[in-house]
Structure 1
Amino acid sequence: MDGACAALAALLGYLLRFGPERADASHSPFWLALALPVVWVLAMLVSRSYEERFLWVGPEEFRRVFFASALLLALVGTVSWAFKLEVARGFVVFALPAATALTLAHRHLQRQWLHRQRGHGRFQQTALLVGHRGGVHALHEQIDREAYHGYRVIGCCLPSATPRDKESFDGLPVLGSLDEVVDVVHRYEVDTVAVLPSPELDGPALRRLGWDLEKTRAELLLAPAVTEVVGPRVRIRPVCGLPLLHMERPELRGVRRLTKDAFDRISALMGLLVLAPVLVVLAISIRLTSRGPVLYRQVRVGRDGQTFSMLKFRSMVTGADSMVAALGKSNDGNGVLFKRKIDPRVTPIGRVLRRYSLDELPQLLNVLRGEMSLVGPRPPLPSEVDQYGFDMHRRFLVKPGLTGLWQVSGRSDLSWDDSVRMDVRYVENWSLTFDFMILWKTVGAVFRGSGAY
């Protein structure tokens, strides 16, 4: 497919630059167009974009495609200058970016198709979990949540597993003890071994396990003791001759924070100007279809625990807050958040607003005033904050967001534990790139409307 994308880009570049009347084999750019698919695939090989560990999950695959494209463009420019070759610059300038765009598009579509197939149990690799019960349970839950990664857990190995233990744990067969991992891998032809932190598997024992697994086809994965911290914050650095895992501080201060604030306010201002006609139409519709104010104000908790008045288009009848006690026994939320899939307080126009998150648009004013961000944790109520544990207070290091991981991951369908995990993950791994990714995914989440009620 990469070769086909390059061939299509070469054909389009040739026709646009020279036209169909000059498409003959004696024309030197014609041979350049024929060579591009081969050269393109070779560039992908050099950038290691076909290694399985980079494919189908995460941004590394796309970064390597960009790297290959930039490397090839620089190589063509350098060689043509050094040897004074006559290269059709117009063809190169169009064909290489087009090949990059087509390659990224097809790989993205292939990834989406594969994720859907894995969600139905296809194209998976078997996994064995090794560690103590608590860690095995947590990792098993995480793998079930992220089924699109393609791991099918077939069992686990626990410390000092007795015959009584060798039945099941957390719905998984206990296949052996920590000393029997390699035997289990051979017996069940395991593809991946995920090892959790445990005192029994210290440095020498873990090293020997890695050496033994090199004789099999199984891949060895080590789960860190610190979870929810990924990406640029984690680096392997040599310290005193030892490869130690170095965890950087979260990027919550300094120039990056100022850049985020400036981006938020400029984007909010532009959004208000562009969406002004839509906001006016929605305000008139609310005013004409139900009694009460157009805007609904509610006290929420923001950065550093400071409260502010959050704005929304009113989607419920007037006095809906006083009706919560009467509806509390039939809560469809996660135990802390009150939600009803079929809420009698919601007005007819309110159902449309909530379905497509149009009721959230006035929060652009909160973003403009600096009380909220475009992307961040969900803004909580003071009553919810009273029920927070220690971990959830981590979210107050950043501003709450108009959208966030909770928006693109199911919204009201999330359990309380999942909501906590999403908020902590965002704070621990914030970056502008992360924000742009969430904004992009928000578009699809809004149109799908999953979890919006």
Structure 2
Amino acid sequence: MTASIIPTLENLYDVTQEHQDNRGYCTLLWRRGQLLVKPRGQVKQPYLPSLDSKRSLVECLQHSPVTLVSIDPKLGEALLRFWADACKEADKPIFLSIPTGNKLPNQPWRELQRLIDWIAAFVLLLLVSPVMLGLIVLMQIDSTGSLFCHEWRVGERGKLFQVIKFCSHNITPLGRWMGKYNLDNLPQLFNVLRGDMSLTGSRGWTLEDAVQLNKLPEIKASWEVESESHLLHLDSQTL
């Protein structure tokens, strides 16, 4: 059974000025299991208060037939992170809608490169595992808090993934030392093993870098051309 992402009609159009930049103000387009999230355009869509809560959005995505979310970088870094976090909790893949000419290249020899990356990352993990264990012990002594933190990156074909890093607090001598020698990035070897990033190629864009792409000429994907006819309407019951 599917759930609707559209809220009840009560006070649907009673939107105050303070909500003008809220998450509910975006255009949702739907086609063949793919949800496209874009800024407000010429096609008007009412305010969707359910999008102001990550919990509500997660529940909607979990109970919907959405198989993939594509989000426009013009929405800004904050909204990209909001949707990415929600999609992660809902176990839905999320991609950035990047101009075709600006996507990270997908070379024909990519499968061979991935195999080489996997073997190299595995060997390196075996070699540096004593160092990583030592750093974990020192970090627990040096400061309190989480040992690992995650940062959203944009990889091949615009797919969003999270890199793993040591939460090195740079205000401490240990943190500054780890940052100086990039030791806080050692856990990213696990990202290489998962195929998120490469040791020899690109390691992905940050969300801040990705947002800058909206200044470049945009080449729309073919499935976006008929987007207006697939606008998520108020009477939709499938999302």
Common fold, TM-score beyond 0.5?
A: no
TM-score normalised per structure 2: 0.44
Task: Tell me which protein shows more helix as a share of its residues.
Answer: 1
Structure with the greater relative contact order (CA < 8 A, sep ≥ 6): 1 or 2? 2
Please report the TM-score for the alignment, with normalisation by the length of structure 1: 0.24
